[in-house]
Structure 1
């Protein structure tokens, strides 16, 4: 069964349009099959169900499960704590706030209708749905762990916004096969067309987030014990190997599976491990970036063997 990845930049109010993208893997990139703006929740559901003969992965940039009347969900609290170092945060999601935009709360309505069609918050399902976030996806996957300031905000001119959207477009062009939107001259856009362009790019990013998080490093955040929101995280890791002579080796990598294979089978493995094969991966930590990984590697290397074993067995 072929897989497709659907991204939805969901409008919180009834009067606004939602970006909607359908993409499929083709070679090392994704190919956009469908890209449009939709208005009603029923329209969105109908468009999704056209692909019922596929494995469907839906990513929505909106809160799908909101049990709290006021305040923040645990998702926002935990995400904001984790991503504070990147200066990225999520707004509060609660029923009181969301009902100001739509009495029915459109994101909850969408989730409930798709759940009736068999969609589940589980990558093991054949119909998958999660919340995603464009800002964290762009920062981690494209923009060197920094927020891309392409959203309309006080103090940002139209020219600045268009410049940022141009950068955004170029990032997506590297990950998707050619499509008219990725060739659009952003400088030519005016008024509502700039906002429409932004919403469509965001829907593309939502589809990309679902694809990326299925095959790469990702973190899940829960509502009431169930994975609900997923975001890419840094690929950089510090790791420890147990060698054939029972010694421990510490290193950094972005692809642990490949690196462990190299240590066991390739001249690319470290000089230390090449004469102590086979080696076994016994520990790893996710790090923010290469600098963070190398700093943590240094700290671990200074530990005694007893301290390293205690770290492994935590």
Structure 2
């Protein structure tokens, strides 16, 4: 089973892309990169997922509301606001909506059905919306998010180093286990730092895709539903 993560750039910014392959109970990294155009992102999906696969997108791919905030956005604030992990509200009146919804529709056209409910470990072609921050809070048992997205390079770099170590040390211990020898090192320049950040976010997306397909609702929570929009988040580890 291929598990794809897309840290989608909501504007014209590049998107992080990750492909993990699940065999038995072990995940192997197959690809980690960035692409700029939607056409290139979809071509990458076609290449990496010719058959059964699940695609997890960090972006609002279902937006039923013209104004205001979606149900999953409100629930994210309710459950994860205290960790500073509330998500940006989405509605159809915002500039990014056509781009993010369009990606979801393009995936549907390729046979990737939205899967806010799923039969665990059943082959198929699925897509889900995810949000890395709350996923990391629960998977890594954090008291607040890792703040690698805002601030100076000196502030962001050590937070991204923490994320790198969590991925290398913690995900190999959670089932399904990520077999990973190394990851890109953390650079010192801002543009290069952003590139690594996008790739790491896409890896978290891909891992959540695998975790949802493997466990379903036994070890995941779903914020929202198909009609209102939804976000899949791993449940707190026990």
> TM class by shorter-chain length?
0.7 to 0.9
CA drift at 1:26: 5.1
Q: Distance in 2 between matches of 1:88 and 1:70?
A: 22
Q: Is the 8 A contact 1:4 1:23 kept in 2?
A: yes
Match of residue 137 from structure 1: 135
| Change in 2 beyond 3 A, CA 1:162/1:105 | same
User: Structure 1 stretches of 5 or more lacking a match?
Assistant: 236-253, 255-314
Match of residue 35 from structure 2: 38
Pick one of 138, 149, 152 that aligns with 1:151: 149
Q: Is the 8 A contact 1:20 1:35 kept in 2?
A: yes
Q: Write the deviation string for residues 135-161 of structure 1: whole angstroms up to 9, x where unpaired.
A: 011110014342111112xxx331121
Q: Is the 8 A contact 1:121 1:226 kept in 2?
A: no
Match of residue 168 from structure 1: 163
CA drift at 1:178: 3.3
Match of residue 57 from structure 2: 60
Classify the secondary structure of the residue corresponding to 1:50. Answer: helix
Q: Write the deviation string for residues 203-234 of structure 1: whole angstroms up to 9, x where unpaired.
A: 00100111122334111133454773211121
Match of residue 118 from structure 1: 111
Q: Distance in 2 between matches of 1:12 and 1:214?
A: 25
Displaced runs of 4 or more, over 6 A: none
Classify the secondary structure of the residue corresponding to 1:36. Answer: strand
Q: Write the deviation string for residues 138-196 of structure 1: whole angstroms up to 9, x where unpaired.
A: 110014342111112xxx3311210010010011113233355x151x2x431210100
Higher RCO structure (Cα 8 Å, ≥6 apart): 2
User: Structure 2 stretches of 5 or more lacking a match?
Assistant: 172-177
Number of paired residues?
223
- Give TM-score, length-normalised by structure 1: 0.66
Match of residue 223 from structure 2: 221
Q: Distance in 1 between matches of 2:124 and 2:83?
A: 33
- Give TM-score, length-normalised by structure 2: 0.85
After TM superposition, the structure 1 = structure 2 runs for residues 76-91 of structure 1, keeping only pairs within 5 Å, are: 76-91=73-88
Q: Is the 8 A contact 1:8 1:58 kept in 2?
A: yes
Match of residue 293 from structure 1: none
Q: Is the 8 A contact 1:121 1:228 kept in 2?
A: no
Q: Is the 8 A contact 1:10 1:60 kept in 2?
A: yes
Q: Is the 8 A contact 2:71 2:230 kept in 1?
A: no
Match of residue 23 from structure 1: 20
